[in-house]
């Protein structure tokens, strides 16, 4: 959420402190008077006090200036004299108060300046100390406290939503219909609590928005703020986690106090996983702090009067890490899932964000939506932005379909890196490797169709074979996982069949194969049930600050059986892959040759080889 203007600027900076010091210095300099003599200081002639008084009596002097024990005088003919008197003797003692004489007598009072100087010397250190303390405390509160001026550590940094500034509405959230319905109900509850109370319905206390990053949880929170006609307090979980223990808890207290004063109200805690992690894990200051903050939230949620109209909405993408106590009835007992958008939702999100962009006529967002399985709302927004940037760079008058297509690839695979110099020999290996993936995948039953093959480096990859699902899928079958392993073997096996050896380029493939096989055996019960059985085997790694140790919930014998099963699955899929590639070896060579020339092969170009 954007910070409200109240909180936005950091009011303090080190320069301000330096400025204060400079000001003190300057005023010191002013108060410490300089020699304000009106007599030119040009080499005065030193004379005795007697001869000076003589000259005075004879009216030779125009001006006389007395400063402490020093007397300076200027005669009418421009001569400057200097003499000294007893510090204790004054004008009267010396007889310089004769009004019949022409000389103008001036006494420069230095004692006043001295007093000020002395006071300053005494007080300045204290002043400096006070300034310094204020400076430190304001800095600290600027880092963590925000409101409240000096010593405002424990104040919550919640932002009250300013409706006149942002106006996010539910219509700004495309798709996510169930989530919207759910929160609409909540907003209605706060607008008309009587209606619900009469029926005996209780207001839910806490709602947890759960969804992958970029699915629009924060956006939905903002939309609730825009729609609800009640005060809306928004904080991010990470804002509670401070370097001072106890600050988080006191902020929670403050936040709830403010909300209660303004009830009915909504409190939105974004990214609650920052505080809501399982308690009692490990040690260290950070954990203690989190625990205290979490406990305070629980206490506050329990402490509501049943009819207090405060609803707490929290968002997280890691519900599994949340403390069970948070999810208990009476706390965040309602969960609203925001899924990755499906085909229709993707099209709606694209349309929404295309509103302020200039699309060429004939662009088809539906096609883009169908190509972007697995993209989040944020990815889609990013895609459109990338397309707009590239259209601008190319000085086009609008965004074309090919800009959009390129942006899909850029967002999902990283930007092309044409500057990377790759030797011809290496290019040849890369081409055969990628075509190996494509052919192995193409001849299995369950792999996604090949969408594109490319030997242009992108991000970290030297080449890519891009398989693209044609529709949203929610279940993955055992057969499909096996087929995926076959196509993953394709690159390495093609290198072996064509060049007689393999390269390091396959390491990522192998990693993914191993992961797939391991999860098949350990998580999905897809291994041979006589050997390992349809059991979920968990291997937790318990993180402790500094230490990491694995904890298995199965015996060494089982571990060996699992390893054997995983090995079997991998070997079998490798054999299947080799068989496919051997059958289509001439075609593999031919396509790789063409790919070397063209650098990219589209789905249509690839399919044409098999007609």
Give the catalytic positions in this structure.
Answer: 434
231 binds, among ligand ADP, Zn ion, Mg ion, none (CB under 5 to 8 A by kind): none
Size of the site for ligand ADP (CB under 6 A): 17
Told to check if 509 binds Zn ion by CB under 5 A, we report yes
* Distance, CA of 83 to CA of 50 (rounded, Å): 9
Told to check if 441 binds Zn ion by CB under 5 A, we report no
Told to check if 213 binds ligand ADP by CB under 6 A, we report yes
The CA angle 419-434-389, to the nearest 5 degrees, is 40
* Distance, CA of 76 to CA of 59 (rounded, Å): 9
Told to check if 463 binds Zn ion by CB under 5 A, we report no
Closest distance between Zn ion and the C-beta of residue 523, in Å? 24
216 binds, among Mg ion, ligand ADP, Zn ion, none (CB under 5 to 8 A by kind): ligand ADP
Told to check if 218 binds ligand ADP by CB under 6 A, we report yes
* Distance, CA of 11 to CA of 436 (rounded, Å): 61
Instruction: Output 73 or 314, the one with its CB closest to Mg ion.
Output: 314
Kindly write out the interface string for residues 516-555 of this chain, putting x where it contacts Zn ion by CB under 5 A and - elsewhere.
----------------------------------------
Residue 378 Cα to chain centre, angstroms: 15
441 binds, among ligand ADP, Mg ion, Zn ion, none (CB under 5 to 8 A by kind): none
* Distance, CA of 346 to CA of 20 (rounded, Å): 56
Residue 405 Cα to chain centre, angstroms: 29
Residue at token pair 């009596």: 57
Residue 465 tokens read as: 């074979």
Told to check if 495 binds Zn ion by CB under 5 A, we report no
Residue 88 Cα to chain centre, angstroms: 73
Closest distance between Mg ion and the C-beta of residue 222, in Å? 10
Number of helical (H) and strand (E) elements in the chain, helices listed first:
20, 16
The C-alpha torsion from 280 through 281 and 286 to 290, rounded to 10°, is: -50
Q: Which residue has its beta carbon closest to Zn ion?
A: 491
Beta-strand runs (E) in 509-606: 539-543, 548-552, 600-602
- Near ligand ADP in 372-411, by CB under 6 A: 377-378, 381
Residue at token pair 């169908």: 370
- Near ligand ADP in 169-208, by CB under 6 A: 173-176
Instruction: Output 186 or 440, the one with its CB closest to Zn ion.
Output: 440
Told to check if 390 binds Mg ion by CB under 5 A, we report no
Told to check if 491 binds Zn ion by CB under 5 A, we report yes
Among 524, 513, 607, smallest CA distance to 569 is for 513
Instruction: Output 69 or 171, the one with its CB closest to ligand ADP.
Output: 171
518 binds, among ligand ADP, Zn ion, Mg ion, none (CB under 5 to 8 A by kind): none
**Of the candidates 12, 83, 215, 347, which one interacts with ligand ADP according to CB under 6 A?**
215
Question: 553: which DSSP letter?
Answer: S
Beta bridge partners of 12: none
* Distance, CA of 84 to CA of 49 (rounded, Å): 6
Contacts of 503 by beta carbon, 8 Å cutoff, 6+ apart: 429, 433, 495
**Of the candidates 144, 146, 154, 211, which one interacts with ligand ADP according to CB under 6 A?**
211
Question: What is the chain's Cα-based Rg?
Answer: 40
Told to check if 352 binds ligand ADP by CB under 6 A, we report yes
Told to check if 218 binds Mg ion by CB under 5 A, we report yes
Closest distance between ligand ADP and the C-beta of residue 373, in Å? 16
Query: Which residues are near ligand ADP by CB under 6 A?
Result: 173-176, 211, 213-219, 349, 352, 377-378, 381
């Amino acid at each position: 959420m954007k910070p409200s203007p109240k909180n936005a600027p950091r009011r303090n900076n080190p320069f301000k402190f330096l400025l204060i010091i400079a000001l003190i210095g300057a005023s010191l300099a002013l108060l410490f008077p300089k020699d304000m003599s009106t007599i030119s200081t040009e080499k005065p002639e030193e004379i005795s006090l007697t001869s000076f008084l003589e000259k005075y009596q004879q009216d030779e002097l125009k001006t006389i200036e007395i400063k402490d024990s020093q007397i300076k005088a200027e005669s009418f003919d421009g001569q400057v004299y200097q003499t000294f008197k007893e510090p204790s003797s004054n004008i009267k003692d010396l007889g310089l108060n004769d009004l019949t004489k022409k000389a103008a007598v001036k006494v420069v009072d230095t004692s006043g300046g001295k007093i000020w100087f002395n006071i300053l010397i005494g007080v300045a250190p204290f002043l400096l100390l006070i300034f310094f303390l204020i400076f430190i405390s304001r800095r600290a509160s600027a880092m963590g406290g925000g409101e409240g001026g000096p010593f405002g550590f424990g104040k919550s940094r919640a932002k009250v939503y300013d409706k006149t500034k942002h106006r996010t509405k539910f219509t700004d959230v495309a798709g996510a219909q169930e989530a919207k319905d759910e929160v609409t109900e909540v907003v209605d509850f706060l607008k008309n609590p009587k209606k619900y109370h009469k029926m005996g319905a209780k207001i839910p206390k806490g709602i947890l928005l759960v969804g992958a990053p970029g699915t629009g949880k924060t956006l939905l929170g903002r939309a609730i703020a825009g729609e609800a006609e009640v005060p809306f307090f928004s904080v991010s979980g990470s804002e509670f986690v401070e370097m001072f223990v106890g600050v988080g808890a006191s902020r929670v207290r403050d936040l709830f106090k403010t909300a209660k004063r303004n009830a009915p109200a909504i409190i939105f805690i974004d990214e609650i996983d920052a505080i809501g992690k399982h308690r009692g894990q490990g040690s260290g200051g950070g954990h203690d702090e989190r625990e205290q903050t979490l406990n305070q939230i629980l206490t506050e949620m329990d402490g509501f009067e049943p009819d207090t109209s405060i609803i707490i909405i929290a968002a997280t993408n890691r519900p599994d890490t949340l403390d069970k106590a948070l999810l208990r009835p009476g706390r965040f007992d309602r969960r609203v899932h925001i899924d990755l958008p499906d085909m229709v939702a993707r099209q709606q999100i694209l349309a929404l964000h295309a509103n302020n962009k200039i699309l060429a006529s004939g662009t088809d967002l539906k096609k883009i939506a169908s190509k972007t399985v697995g993209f989040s709302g944020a990815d889609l927004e990013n895609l459109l932005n990338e397309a707009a940037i590239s259209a601008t760079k190319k000085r086009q008058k609008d965004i074309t379909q090919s800009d959009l297509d390129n942006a899909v690839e850029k967002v999902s695979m990283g930007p092309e890196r044409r500057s990377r110099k790759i030797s011809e020999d290496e290019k040849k290996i890369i081409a055969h490797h990628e075509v190996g993936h494509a052919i192995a995948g193409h001849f299995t039953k369950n792999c996604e169709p090949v969408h594109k093959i490319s030997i242009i480096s992108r991000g970290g990859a030297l080449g890519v074979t891009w398989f693209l699902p044609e529709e949203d899928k929610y279940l993955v079958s055992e057969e499909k996982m096996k087929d995926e392993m076959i196509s993953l073997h394709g690159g390495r096996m093609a290198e072996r069949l064509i060049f007689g050896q393999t390269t390091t380029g396959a390491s990522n493939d192998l990693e993914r194969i191993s992961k797939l096989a391991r999860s098949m055996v350990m998580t999905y019960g897809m291994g041979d049930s006589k050997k390992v059985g349809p059991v979920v085997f968990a291997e937790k790694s318990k993180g402790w600050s500094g230490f990491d140790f694995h904890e298995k919930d199965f015996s060494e014998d089982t571990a060996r059986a699992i390893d054997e099963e995983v090995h079997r699955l991998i070997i079998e899929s490798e054999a299947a892959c080799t068989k496919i590639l051997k059958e289509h070896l001439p075609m593999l060579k031919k396509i790789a040759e063409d790919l070397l020339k063209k650098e990219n092969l589209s789905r249509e170009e690839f399919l044409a080889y098999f007609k």
